[in-house]
Amino acid sequence: MHKDLQMASHKRIIQGTVIKKAGDKTATVLVERRVMHPRYHKTVKRFKKYLIHDERNETKVGDTVTAIECRPISKTKSFRLKEIVSSGVGS
């Protein structure tokens, strides 16, 4: 087996804001990305929500977090919490 095959782990990392604590060990994260509009050449924001797995229930609403891709934990959860970047003014 080649060394290159062992090194090929491509896991996406997302960063966003916790907008909702959905059930036990789950948080909803809103990820914003900026895209150039194809016709008007203006930068526009695109948003997507991800469910992330928070094993120790550390996150609060308003926190900025990073999450890393993992195996599917449930039907809609494929990311787990990597770290809390900054604490928000949530509850």
CATH architecture of 11-86: Beta Barrel (2.40)
If one counts every other C-beta atom within 10 angstroms of the C-beta of residue 46, the result is 9
Does residue 88 register a pLDDT over 70?
A: yes
Does residue 72 register a pLDDT over 90?
A: yes
Does residue 90 register a pLDDT over 80?
A: no
Residues 45-60 have pLDDT tens digits of: 999 999 999 999 999 9
Nearest-angstrom CA–CA distance, 51 and 84? 15
With a pLDDT cut of 70, the percent of the chain lying above it is: 88
Return the domain boundaries, the chain. 11-86
Nearest-angstrom CA–CA distance, 78 and 21? 16
Element (H, E) at 7: helix 3-7
